[in-house]
Amino acid sequence: TPFLQIRHLEKTYPGKTRGSAGTHAVSNVSLDIAPGEFIGIVGESGSGKSTLAKLIMGLESPSGGQIFLNGQPLTMDAEQQRRRIESIQMIFQDSRSALNPRRKVRSLLTQSMEVHPNLHSAIEARARQLAADVGLAADMLDAYPPQMSGGQRQRVNIGRALCELPQLLVADEIVSGLDVSVQAQILNLLLALRKEHKISLLLISHDLAVVRYLCSRMLVMHRGQVVEQGPTEQVLAHP
C-alpha cells in the first residue's frame, strides 16, 4: 500500500507582471509511492521535475490537488511541515547542496538531532552509525567538506537525509558531476539502503542509464504533465 499519494497536483507560478499569464509548471500529476519503491522522473529542462519535487517537499505550495502522507492530507501549515520533514528528505546535486564548509562531518550528519541538547552520546552513536551506513570511514567524522571528494560529500548528503529515518528520499540529479565509478558506488549505496531500511526513492535524473539501474518504474514529464509512465523497461522500449 502506498504511503505517499499525489492526486491531481497543480502548480502555476504567477506571471512576472500583473495580468500576464503564469507558468503552468505542474499540471494534473497523480502518483503513488509504496515503501521500498524506486521511481525515476525524466523530462527536458523546464518540464516541471524540480517543481514537483518542491511541492512534495513543501517548499512550494500547490495551486491545486492534494498530497496524502500515510493516508492523511499534507498541507503547508507548521505541524504538517514537521510531519513531512520526519518522513521525506531531499538530496541535491553536490554542487547545489553546499554543505557548511566549517562543520565537521559528524555534526553535518546529525544536524537534525541538535535540537535535543542532552544527547551527546546518542548523537555520537548516530553519527558513527550513519557514517557506516553510507560507507564513510570513521576517521572521516572529523573531516570538513572542502577536504573531501565529491563522492564522499555526496555520501554525507545522503547520510544527513537518513538521520531521522525518512520513508522517502527525493533526489535531484544526485550523481551528475561525479566520476562514473563514484556514481556506481552511490547508486549501489541507495540499493543497499532500500534493502536495509525499505526506503523509497523519487529520482530526478537526465541519465536514463541511472534510472534504468535503480528504478522499476518511471515517469516522463513534458510541459508539466506526466506524458508516459510505467515499468521502466516498458517505457524505455517505447518507440
50 vs 200, beta carbon nearer ligand ADP: 50
Please report how close the Cβ of residue 212 comes to ligand ADP at its closest, in angstroms. 19
User: Using an 8 Å Cβ cutoff, are 67 and 9 in contact?
Assistant: yes
Please report how close the Cβ of residue 11 comes to ligand ADP at its closest, in angstroms. 8
What does the alpha-carbon distance between residue 219 and residue 236 come to, in Å, rounded to a whole number? 10
Please report how close the Cβ of residue 125 comes to ligand ADP at its closest, in angstroms. 36
Q: Which 29-58 positions form the footprint of ligand ADP (CB under 6 A)?
A: 43, 45-51
DSSP helix/strand/coil, 165: coil
47 vs 110, beta carbon nearer ligand ADP: 47
Nine-digit cell string for 173: 540529479
133 vs 172, beta carbon nearer ligand ADP: 172
What does the alpha-carbon distance between residue 25 and residue 52 come to, in Å, rounded to a whole number? 8
User: Using an 8 Å Cβ cutoff, are 91 and 74 in contact?
Assistant: no
Residue 25 binds ligand ADP (CB under 6 A): yes
Number of helices (H) and strands (E) in the chain: give both, helices first: 9, 10
Q: At what angle do helices 150-162 and 180-197 cross, to 10 degrees?
A: 20
13 vs 231, beta carbon nearer ligand ADP: 13
Please report how close the Cβ of residue 205 comes to ligand ADP at its closest, in angstroms. 11
Q: Is the dihedral of CA 182, 100, 165, 200 positive or negative?
A: negative
Site string for ligand ADP, 145-184 (x = CB under 6 A): ----------------------------------------
Question: Under the rule (CB under 6 A), what is the footprint of ligand ADP?
Answer: 13, 23, 25, 43, 45-51
